[in-house]
Structure 1
Amino acid sequence: MEALIPIINKLQDVFHSVGTDIIQLPQIAVVGSQSSGKSSVLESLVGRDLLPRGIGIVTRRPLILQLIHNDLDNHHTKTIDGIDIVSKEWGEFHHNKNKIYTDFDEIRQEIEAETERVSGSNKGISSEPIHLKIHSPKVVNLTLLDLPGLTKVPVGDQPKDIEIQIRELILKYISNPICVILAITPANTDMATSEALKVARDVDPDGRRTLAVVTKLDLMDAGTDAIDILMGRVIPVKLGLIGVVNRSQQDINNKKSVSDSIQDEVAFLQKKYPSIANRNGTKYLAKALNRLLMHHIRDCLPELKTRLNLQAAHYQSLLSSYGEPIEDKSATLLQLITKFSAEYCHTIDGTAKYIETTELCGGARICYIFHETFGRTLECVDPLGGLTQIDVLTAIRNATGPRPALFVPEVSFELLVKRQVKRLEEPSLRCVELVHEEMQRIIQHCSNYSTQEWLRFPKLHDAIVEVVTSLLRRRLPVTNNMVNNLIAIELAYINTKHPDFADACGVMHSSLEDQRQNHPRETPNERAVATGEGTEGSQCGSQSFSASSFPEGRAGSWRGMLKTPQDLLQVPVPVKLSARELRDCEVIERLIKSYFLIVRKNIQDTVPKAVMHFLVNHVKDCLQSELVGQLYKLDKLDDLLTESDDMARKRSEAEDMVTALQKDGKMIAEIRETNLW
């Protein structure tokens, strides 16, 4: 079981090399208030002075301290000024792998420099850890996480919310359920108010993974002792309490060695607490932490294996989704073009692999445009919309010329029906526009279901969008011209012999005959008005003018009112139409309505067919050949298949994670269950 801690250290190194903390590893986090003796405890465990000291916050970044036990014959040789210096104790930083530190003062300086490099010099903190390995025959295999000391009041240029920042940083690490909490509390303070125990209890209310260390036993008031505290009678902690004696500031100033301090600690405990001296002190703490960490790792190992396997499968799947490195660019480009073309056509045909369930798209939306949007719009067009009886009567009169007509002139019908048919042109062109917009939207729809590929090759995606957009843009005026021609065809020849129109005329004629039989004949005055006859005054159109028609009451005064030719155009139209005029208008309106419905039915049928032939089907048939012709060129291969920086970075990260997880999996697999007990 002794091999467990070195394996966890290796796992820690592997995951740090890929810059991630997706797998939480078992570790011991050291928590305590400022000046509680955290640094002294850690230095006692190492046996050397190596941590920065000072006023205020000194530890401003987490320090992952890996203690690696060396045999006495294991050493490191360093050459200085041509002289080989053999050292059995040395350190190394993960951020500076190529350098070995045999001078522990230099290690302290490097910790300070690396802290300021990331956290700055304004006493701010950072969650990015520093990794330090210490190789020594004086240490036991142990991994410790030194966290910034808890504080209450900002000092100097510290941030105003420094207390909250430190607390959140500590909670980030100790909230990990497989993290053992080493709570440092000085003996010369009230244990009930210990900030370290309080923050530990927030995440570990049962105290199952909290070990308390009571420091500064030698600084208690005269006549008092910590026997009740160390026996767990004051604050019970399930993993126990261990008391230690720290070096005083005077000892540190006087360069008192850690080894001498440990000897004095043993003597103090034997004298002050003889009954429990063997269960306290730095040496006992080191062995207890080593044993505790090994058992903790053993308990966490099954879950750790499971998480490693799950993460390995996840990142392997993620790596596969990013695509393999390109070997044959020509084949890859042709494959991507073909895939996009097929997906585009399948979306129109309704056979796409991914069917949208939240909204209509592709061919379904085009069908909706044809039969719902366009069809209903045409049905809402009133055959007689914008046409008044005065307009009809004016057209009839203009078509008869100077002579009164015995029958309704056909020219007036043709003139008016063309005017109404022309109104179908705008909704027909709008139908083309809506289908064109949907064809454009299909591009984005296809891109959404090939996100990884288009994120990987953004230039290829942009080029495909440009080619398809250009093809659609070229087909739009062709389709519009065809629709305009359909309307022009209807306007070019008014087929009054159309079977449906002939039937409607027959029905209308019978209706008018019945109406004449059921109404009295016109009076002479009405007939005179209808035929333009009269004996007094002059007529213009159907209006009979007499002297009584004007305010002056004189027959000749109206001639002075018509001074210019334009005035002749403004002759008033009668407000009340005669019975014959009403029948003529009714005949024309019925004929217009009957013929308009025939044309509308034709347009409603032929416009969608024209759009399908000239736009939709043409794009489907020509899409792949258009893309190949525009993009499949040797001089464009490298540029189109250039991966985005973001995708290349993600693939590299996924590859590193897969490699790291596989390596860690092999390390864990080498551990036999028989070696855990």
Structure 2
Amino acid sequence: MTFLGDQPQDIEVQIRELILKHISNPNSIILAVTAANTDMATSEALKVAREVDPDGRRTLAVVTKLDLMDAGTDAMDALLGRVIPVKLGLIGVVNRSQLDINNKKSVSDAIRDEHAFLQKKYPSLANRNGTKYLSRTLNRLLMHHIRDCLPELKTRINVLAAQYQSLLSSYGQPVEDQNATLLQLITKFAAEYCHTIEGTAKYIETAELCGGARICYIFHETFGRTLESVDPLGGLNTIDILTAIRNATGPRPSLFVPEVSFELLVKKQVKRLEEPSLRCVELVHEEMQRIIQHCSNYSTQELLRFPKLHDAIVEVVTSLLRKRLPITNEMVHNLVAIELAYINTKHPDFADACGVMNNNIEESRRNRMRELPAAVPRDKPPGAGTQGDQEGTGNWRGMLKKGDEGAPGSGPASPHKGLAVNLLDVPVPVARKLSSREQRDCEVIERLIKSYFLIVRKNIQDSVPKAVMHFLVNHVKDSLQSELVGQLYKSSLLNDLLTESEDMAQRRKEAADMLEALQKASQVIAEIRETHLW
């Protein structure tokens, strides 16, 4: 930096920046000083004031050196506000000259001489000008300005004070009784964790579902909709069902649909409920883990004082959840296994469904019996065949000409021209059209599977949430505090767990100092409001 004499080269820039820094504050009052013996219209002070206060609402102009104006001139127009447009007014003053200062002229004498000059030169304006009037005006403007700003200022101070009080409370006082402090923190964390699950936490999350609300959503929305989306007949086609029926009949043709085929197929479908049930357990476990972070962030901020204690609590809760997960999974697995262990065809709901279907089947059988005589060849001796022989096992036989027994897939021949051959050992053609008996048998099995599957699905939808609540949620909630106390409340761990972070003492002191300053500011504001404003 280059200096001119004893001043830096950019002294003008520095002065201008310093002035703008202060007068740019919208709460400041600008005092623009201009000499009376210069052109006021081009005053540098007024020019800078107009940059930040173009309307002149917070500018007070002061005209100095009234006694140094050229002979035959005066500042009447300026003092009457005709030259300088400012809202707070314009006041003229007479300062001490350098000779007066050298001669040690007192301020009181200078004010007396100033008043005499104003009475002589500007008698009609003498009471509204001068140093005393300027002092009173500035005090009045300042006090009124402070009074106008007091409500907002008071509110801001109160808000800040409350924030720093809360911050200071979260920092807490230096630990004196380690045992009591540790037990208190553990108890509070356990209580907040349980309250978050029960929906009674002090800090309620508004951005997303949390705790017990999310667990409820998992049970009745996520898990419920997933189960409802499982098709009772998903993964099964008609050929699968027909093959199961055939395999269940053994070497003998069957007059009725085998019950074993129904059990085999329905178990396969019920098994599909296990995966979404285990996924439900996993989602609840993840939410139980998220609650730890929620409590740390919102409910027990004083744990931030002791990072090692916070980490230890997180580890204990995580470990507890980790231990309960396989137990809960095993229970849910057993719920599905129980359903697979015994297919209760005597279930009231299932019996009702079977009754309706049996009536339909009986009606169809009677219809076939009425049509049977027309289908028996006249040359067939009495007793040579039965209805089962005529129907086969659901029309699972064909008529082959003599010598064509090994040619499966040939079309049916006339009964009196061929021999009846059982085709159970022939693979089911995938593309061939099913006979009416086969179609009817498959439909019966499908209806039975769907009816029983819906019963089991309803049971699983009800029992899985109950199992998760009992073996995971409630168990963790009930045993959390005892687990924390058992793992952490040990004399050998006290010093380590209750070690504050390095900067905690410094932040506590800064918060206390700021709170004290805000309290003093509030007292000053209260005193100002009671001060008489003239």
Q: TM-score normalised to the size of structure 1?
A: 0.59
2:513 to 635, 656, 662: 656
Output aligned runs, 1:85-484, within 5 Å: 148-149=15-16, 167=20, 169-173=21-25, 175-176=26-27, 179-185=28-34, 190-200=39-49, 202-203=52-53, 205=55, 210-214=60-64, 227-228=75-76, 231-232=79-80, 233-235=82-84, 238-242=88-92, 259-260=101-102, 292-295=137-140, 314=159, 316-321=161-166, 322-323=168-169, 324-326=172-174, 327-355=176-204, 360-450=209-299, 452-484=301-333
State the alpha-carbon separation in 2 of the partners of residues 195 and 458 from structure 1: 59
Secondary structure of the residue aligned to 1:534 is strand
RMSD (Å), alpha carbons = 4.8
1:491-530 C-alpha deviation (Å, 9 max, x unpaired): 2333334444344333322210112334555968985752
Label 1:510 to 1:52 Cα distance change in 2 as closer, same or farther (>3 A): farther
For the structure 1 residues 640 and 314, does the alpha-carbon distance in structure 2 shift closer, same or farther, using more than 3 Å as the test? farther
* Shift in alpha-carbon separation, 1:261–1:514, aligned structure 2, 3 A: farther
Q: 1:581 Cα deviation (Å)?
A: 1.5
- 2:469 pairs with 1:603: no
Question: What does residue 594 of structure 1 align with?
Answer: 451
Deviation at 1:435? 1.7
Q: State how far apart, in whole Å, the 1-side matches of 2:343 and 2:426 are.
A: 30
1:664–1:370 distance in 2 versus 1, CA, 3 Å: closer
Deviation at 1:311, TM superposition (A): 6.8
Cα shift at 1:668: 8.5
Q: Distance in 1 between matches of 2:102 and 2:218?
A: 91
Deviation digits for residues 211-260 of structure 1 (CA, Å, limit 9, x no counterpart):
32457997x9x88966356644522655534467999xxxxxxxx99944
CA 1:632/1:196 → structure 2, altered by over 3 Å: closer, same or farther? farther
**Structure 1 position 377, deviation (Å):** 2.5
For the residues of structure 2 that align with 1:297 and 1:361, how far apart are their CA atoms?
A: 52
SS in 1 for 2:235: coil
Deviation at 1:674, TM superposition (A): 9.7
Question: Partners of 1:674 and 1:388 in 2: how far apart?
Answer: 93
* Deviation (angstroms), 1:413: 1.8
Answer whether contact 2:308 2:496 (CA < 8 A) is retained: yes
TM-superposed CA distance for 1:534, in Å, is: 3.4
Give the drift of 1:485: 1.8
C-alpha distance in structure 2 between counterparts of 1:243 and 1:55, whole Å: 33
Taking a change above 3 Å as real, the CA distance of residues 258 and 464 of structure 1, as seen in their structure-2 partners, is: farther
Q: Which of 620, 625, 628 is the matching residue for 2:485?
A: 628
Preserved CA contact (<8 Å) 1:344 1:446: yes
The residue aligned with 1:530 is: 396
Measured in 2, the distance between the counterparts of 1:451 and 1:224 equals 80
The one-letter code of the counterpart of 1:531 is R
Q: Is the 8 A contact 2:78 2:84 kept in 1?
A: no
C-alpha separation between the residues in 1 aligned to 2:484 and 2:75?
A: 85
Residue-by-residue CA offset, 1:553-610 (whole Å, 9 max, x unaligned): xxxxxxxxxxxxxxx9977346111222122212322222232222212212221111
How big is the shift at 1:393? 0.7
Paired residues of 2:227 and 2:461 also in contact (CA < 8 A) = yes
- Residue 382 of structure 2: aligned partner: none
**Residues 184 and 215, structure 1, Cα contact 8 Å, conserved in 2:** no
Higher relative contact order (CA 8 A, sep 6+): 2
Relative to structure 1, the CA distance from residue 390 to residue 332 in structure 2 (aligned partners, 3 Å threshold; closer, same or farther) is same
Distance apart, 1:196 and its partner CA:
3.0
1:626-664 C-alpha deviation (Å, 9 max, x unpaired): 222333344544554455567655542332134345556
What secondary structure is seen at the aligned counterpart in 2 of 1:149?
helix
Q: Is the 8 A contact 1:538 1:545 kept in 2?
A: no
Change (3 A) 1:344 1:539: farther
User: Whole-Å Cα distance in 1 between the matches of residues 149 and 431 of structure 2?
Assistant: 99
Letter in 2 for 1:240: L
1:531 offset after TM fit, Å?
Answer: 3.3
Partners of 1:630 and 1:370 lie apart in 2 by 32
Assess if the C-alpha contact under 8 Å between 1:181 and 1:210 holds in 2: yes
Mapped contact 2:316–2:483 kept (Cα < 8 A): yes
Q: Distance in 2 between matches of 1:588 and 1:547?
A: 27
- Which of residues 553, 556, 581 is equivalent to 2:438? 581
Q: Which structure has greater helix proportion?
A: 2
| CA distance in structure 2 between the aligned counterparts of 1:403 and 1:674, rounded to whole angstroms | 113
In structure 2, relative to structure 1, the CA distance for the partners of 1:319 and 1:203 (3 Å cut) is: same
How many residues are matched? 483
**CA distance in 2: counterparts of 1:285 and 1:193, whole angstroms:** 23
In structure 2, how many angstroms separate the alpha carbons of the residues matched to 1:664 and 1:592? 79
Alpha-carbon distance, 1:190 to partner: 4.1
Tell me the equivalent position of 2:10: 56
Report the Cα distance in structure 2 between the residues aligned to 1:514 and 1:320, rounded to whole angstroms. 84
Distance 2:523 2:257 in 1: 101
Would the aligned equivalents of 1:392 and 1:588 in 2 still touch at CA under 8 Å? yes
Distance of 2:12 and 2:501 partners within structure 1:
43
1:317 maps to amino acid: A
- 3-state secondary structure, aligned to 1:369: helix
Q: Which residue identity lines up with residue 482 of structure 2 in the other structure?
A: S
Instruction: Give how far 1:397 is off.
Output: 1.8
**SS of structure 1 residue aligned to 2:16:** coil
Query: Which structure is higher in strand share?
Result: 1
Whether the 8 Å CA contact 1:216–1:246 is kept in 2: the answer is no
Aligned partners of 1:664 and 1:591: how far apart in 2? 82
Aligned match of 2:354 in 463, 487, 505?
505
Q: Which amino acid aligns with 2:83?
A: V
Q: Compare 324-333 and 295-304 and name the one that shifted more.
A: 295-304
**CA distance in 2: counterparts of 1:226 and 1:451, whole angstroms:** 74
Q: 1:295 to 1:441 in 2, by over 3 A?
A: same
Q: Is the 8 A contact 2:266 2:453 kept in 1?
A: yes
Q: CA 1:340/1:189 → structure 2, altered by over 3 Å: closer, same or farther?
A: same
Q: Tell me how far 1:390 sits from its aligned partner.
A: 0.6
Change (3 A) 1:170 1:224: farther
Residues 584 and 315 of structure 1: CA distance in aligned 2, closer, same or farther (over 3 Å): closer
Q: TM-score, normalised by structure 2?
A: 0.72
The Cα shift of 1:422 comes to 1.0
- Partners of 1:359 and 1:671 lie apart in 2 by 46
Q: Which amino acid aligns with 2:90?
A: G
Q: 1:489 aligns with which of 338, 351, 355?
A: 338
Structure 1 unaligned spans of 5+: 1-50, 61-147, 151-164, 248-255, 279-283, 549-567
Aligned in 2, Cα 1:354/1:246: closer, same or farther, shift over 3 Å? same
Contact 2:147 2:528 in 1 (8 A): no
Residue 421 of structure 1, CA deviation: 0.6
